[in-house]
């Protein structure tokens, strides 16, 4: 807001998380070769930040068991940030051994969710992050943080803002200043997103904020607009709207990357990503997954396509 008027940003950054969050809950396990196809397509569309997988126990998330092979096989393109999600020191060590230099540590803001999945409260779980940060520092790696269930929890319901702030403070004590507020089960609403985003930016101005939305209840695009209105300009998306968290009941797909790009471009906001190529990536993901995903722009086409069709019909009369 400037003098009471809303000023839209010139550019918004989109992080592609389809290779991790998009594939981890699919019934079909994608091969390394198929993941490489998708990764190359993502890079070719102009995406500059990509979460290529996670280093978690293979029994917990079988779809991510070959992340090290993917990292070792991929061609690293200059100017593109590649990262992986990790839960602990073992994950950080595997990331380093595979050759990736940025990791994201994740913890739930909800005590109920954290206890249900890890048998620990959030702050107890974060105690182990100290050794992760030490390893990162000694090995010239980068680290960011993700706060899942920031807006709501399938076990607890609404998560108090105070709980989210407590986790933020612990991340800051670790020296981690890039943090993602994640709507793990799609429980957020635009007013909540605007108010939490505004409050967090004001309370913790040193943090580079990211927002991560699932489209479980069809509010993800509205939530992104609310996030932008709060002053946040970096968001996660997943090709074709694939995804879901295996540890959170009811967590359906992520917001579709190509839907976000289409919306922002229609609003006059640049993403640096080629929409047609992003849509081609999504079609490839649907083909490999063997089912239609939730992407609206793949089903309906771009707004400009409808206009072109109308003009073409008029010219042919």
Asked if 20 and 245 count as a contact pair (C-beta separation under 8 A), the reply is no
Q: Which of 15, 153, 245, 303 is catalytic?
A: 245
| Annotation marks residue 245 as catalytic | yes
Give start and end residues of each alpha helix (H) in the chain: 32-45, 67-73, 89-98, 111-118, 122-126, 129-138, 161-173, 190-203, 220-229, 257-266, 275-289, 296-300, 303-315
Asked if 22 and 285 count as a contact pair (C-beta separation under 8 A), the reply is yes
Say if residue 34 is exposed, middle or buried (CB neighbours under 10 Å; 0-12, 13-18, 19+): middle
Handedness of CA 48, 75, 259, 215 (dihedral sign): negative
Which residues neighbour 159 within 8 Å (Cβ) at sequence distance 6 or greater? 109, 110, 149, 150, 151, 152, 153
Q: Which of 14, 17, 12 lies closest to 238, judged by CA?
A: 17
Can you tell me whether residue 72 is helix, strand or coil?
Answer: helix
Cα within 13 Å of Cα(197), Cβ side: 28
Residues tagged active-site? 245
């Amino acid at each position: 807001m400037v003098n009471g008027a809303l000023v839209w940003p010139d550019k918004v950054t989109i992080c592609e998380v389809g290779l991790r969050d998009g594939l981890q809950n699919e019934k079909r396990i994608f091969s390394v070769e198929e993941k490489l196809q998708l990764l190359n397509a993502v890079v070719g569309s102009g995406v500059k930040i990509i979460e290529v997988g996670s280093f978690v126990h293979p029994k917990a998330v079988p779809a991510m068991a070959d992340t090290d092979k993917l990292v070792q096989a991929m061609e690293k393109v200059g100017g593109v940030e590649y990262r992986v999600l990790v839960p602990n020191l073992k994950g950080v060590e595997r990331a380093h051994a595979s050759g990736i230099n940025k990791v994201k540590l994740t913890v739930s803001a909800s005590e109920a969710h954290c206890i249900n999945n890890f048998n620990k409260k959030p702050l107890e779980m974060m105690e182990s992050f100290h050794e992760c940060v030490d390893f990162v520092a000694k090995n010239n790696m980068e680290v960011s943080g993700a706060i899942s269930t920031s807006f709501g929890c399938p076990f607890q319901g609404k998560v108090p803002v105070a709980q989210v702030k407590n986790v933020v403070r612990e991340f800051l004590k670790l020296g981690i200043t890039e943090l993602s507020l994640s709507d793990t089960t799609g429980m957020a609403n635009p007013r909540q997103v605007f108010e939490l985003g505004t409050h967090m930016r004001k309370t913790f101005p040193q943090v580079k904020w990211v927002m991560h939305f699932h489209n479980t209840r069809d509010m993800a695009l509205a939530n992104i607009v609310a996030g932008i209105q709060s002053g946040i300009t970096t968001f996660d998306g997943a090709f074709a709207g694939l995804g879901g968290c295996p540890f959170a009941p009811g967590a359906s797909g992520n917001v579709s990357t190509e839907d976000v790009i289409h919306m922002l471009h229609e609003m006059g906001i640049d993403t640096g990503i080629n929409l047609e190529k992003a849509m081609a990536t999504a079609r490839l993901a649907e083909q490999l997954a063997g089912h239609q995903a939730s992407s609206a722009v793949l089903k309906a086409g771009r707004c400009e396509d409808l206009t072109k069709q109308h003009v073409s019909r008029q010219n042919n009369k």
